[in-house]
Amino acid sequence: MQYVFLSHDVDWRKQGPSKEHILARKERFEKETIDNLDHTNPYYNIPSIMELEDKMRVKSTFFFRTKYEHGDFTDYQDDMNSLIKGGWEIGLHCDPSSVSNIEDIAHEKKDLENITKTSIIGNRVHYLKFDEKLPSKLTELGFVYDSSVRHSKDKIDEKEMGFYNYDKLIEFPVTIMDAYLFTYMHIEEKDIVPIFQKTLDYSRNLNSESNVITVLWHDNVLKMKGGRMYKNILEFLTSQDDVKICKGEELVSILK
């Protein structure tokens, strides 16, 4: 069986970036999206992702920050409640500035647990900042898994697949991330689904400990060129008889 850990990082405040920020990147969007900026924030797509995943009968993990530039993470409270009620998982998208200080991580975890009324067991550091001392901190704070490791920006190989243990903490390296596909690997939109096919085939030919592919598809890219392929990605993954799509907490329970 091939496992796909499906995840989304919620990087932006709920109100999204400024109109000027989006217009400076208008080539990433369809003209209709740009024309509707005064009415619709194209960076806010949590309900749309939920609708897509619901139709495909899959659930994923959403990693939320507790420190948003010019915004408050509590603005997402209704979204978090809907996600939890619907069977999705909430994880912590830890701030890079907190990595070296266990008290800061503890504070972020507590803040997120207070608003979600759930136990947060998964973490991914914003910008994938990671050091070898982080796992012991996360374990001490009650995290069960982390997904902050990425060895390369421009290739996908066995180092970016599977899982491994730091004592009691499970690490899921990020295998496929939207931003790296577009920015560093220069993958065209038509080649995105084939990249998933190629990655799955590669994983199938490796040992059993490499049978996990971790996918990071940011919520803010859903209306962008490339990012809008998420529906096609889900259709492809759900068509594979030997693929099970999981949220983090579910995959941990399977692997244990």
pLDDT of residue 210: 72
pLDDT score for 133: 96
Residue 56 has pLDDT above 80, yes or no: yes
**pLDDT at res. 227:** 97
* Domain boundaries of the chain, sorted by first residue: 2-255
What is the mean pLDDT of the segment spanning 212-224? 97
Mean pLDDT of the chain: 96
Helix boundaries (H) for 141-191: 178-183
Per-residue pLDDT at 189: 96
Q: Over 70: is that where the pLDDT of 92 sits?
A: yes
Over residues 97-155, the pLDDT tens digits come to 999 999 999 999 999 999 999 999 999 999 999 999 999 999 999 999 999 999 999 99
Q: What integer is the mean pLDDT of 59-87?
A: 97
Distance CA 226, CA 192 (A): 8
Weakest-pLDDT range from 21-35, 47-61, 199-213: 199-213
Q: Is the pLDDT of residue 83 over 70?
A: yes
Q: With bands split at pLDDT 50, 70 and 90, how would you rate the model's confidence at 209?
A: low
What is residue 118's three-state secondary structure? coil
Q: Which long-range CB contacts under 8 A does 161-165 form with residues at least 24 apart?
A: 161/199, 161/202, 161/203, 161/206, 161/210, 161/211, 161/212, 161/213, 162/206, 162/209, 162/210, 162/211, 162/212, 163/209, 163/212, 163/255, 164/209
Give the residue with greater pLDDT, 206 vs 226. Answer: 226
Question: What pLDDT does 206 receive?
Answer: 87
Question: At the top level of CATH, which class does the domain 2-255 belong to?
Answer: alpha beta
pTM flag (> 0.95): yes
Q: Give the pLDDT confidence score for residue 81 in this predicted structure.
A: 98
Q: What is the pLDDT of residue 20?
A: 95
